[in-house]
Amino acid sequence: MAPDPWLSLHGAACQVAQEVAEKIQERNRCQRAGENPAKLNVIIRSSLQNLKEKIDQLKDLLLRAVSTHQITQMEGDRRQNLVDDLLTRQKQLQASYKNEGTEPDVIRSSLMTGGIKRGVTNPWLLEESEETRGLGFDDLRQQQRRIIEEQDAGLDALSSIISRQKQMGQEIGNELDEQNEIIDDLTNLVENTDDKLRNQTRHVKMVDKKSTSCVPVLEPLAVDTSRAAWREQWNNHPFMSKNVTH
């Protein structure tokens, strides 16, 4: 597997920063000993320029890799942090070269771990971790590659979990759609039943109204019939028959 050009360039930039720190420290010792550091200053200025150019190349390559999706967003953020750390180291080296800061004694872990601990007079005098001690740049790149692979595996597992949750959400949505259809059918059935009930109620009211309007017509007939029957009974009474005879 071919090494990543960006990581190779980053390793070279770290090596240049280490060499610059060594030269600045040597220059400061010469000054304290009363020797002429002119030659060392020329080397330091050239190395600082070389470091600046490599950092610019790292930024350009990173921008191109992110814009063309050659690396993941997480890896892009990680590499951006490495570039920012190199920029910080460059400013510290520039300040030390101009005697505006502390002497940058070289410890490689200061290039690999970001940040400066408070209370440490020399930010470059940091103890290297056991994990990286004795490893070369190729070994460090392989270690970083393993870490990235582990992170990718974790992201794949997380993606699988999210996919299952998405599928569950879709199934729940389908079930809700079916339940909504059932509710709509029940609503239509209730509305139809309510319409039929209102129609039957109106029909009953109309029949009741017609029945009520027929009562005054039937009462006179009933009276007339009773009077005729009474007159017939009166006429047929024996007393009336005797009186008629006489």
pLDDT tens digits for range 34-63? 888 888 899 999 999 999 999 999 999 999
pLDDT category at 243 given cuts 50, 70, 90 is low
- The region of weakest confidence among 73-77, 176-180, 195-199, 233-237 is 233-237
Q: What pLDDT score was predicted for residue 53?
A: 93
Across the range 64-74, mean pLDDT stands at: 88
In the predicted model, is pLDDT for residue 119 greater than 50?
no
Closest listed residue to residue 102, CA positions, set 110, 111, 93: 93
Q: pLDDT-based confidence at 140, cuts 50/70/90? A: confident
Residue 21's closest CA among 85, 80, 101, 136?
101
Residue in 140, 143, 112 with CA at minimum distance from that of residue 126: 112
CB 40 within 8 A of CB 23: yes
Task: For residue 116, give the DSSP letter.
Answer: -
d(C-alpha 159, C-alpha 176), whole Å? 25
**Identity of the amino acid at 162:** I
CB of 92 within 8 A of CB of 104?
A: yes
| Rounded Cα–Cα distance for residues 10 and 145 (Å) | 14
Q: Residue 31 — very low, low, confident or very high, per pLDDT cuts 50/70/90?
A: confident
The per-residue pLDDT for range 181-235, each reduced to its tens digit, is 899 888 888 888 888 888 888 888 888 777 776 555 444 444 455 566 656 666 6
Q: Which residue has the tokens 């921008």?
A: 63
Q: Does residue 153 have a pLDDT over 90?
A: no
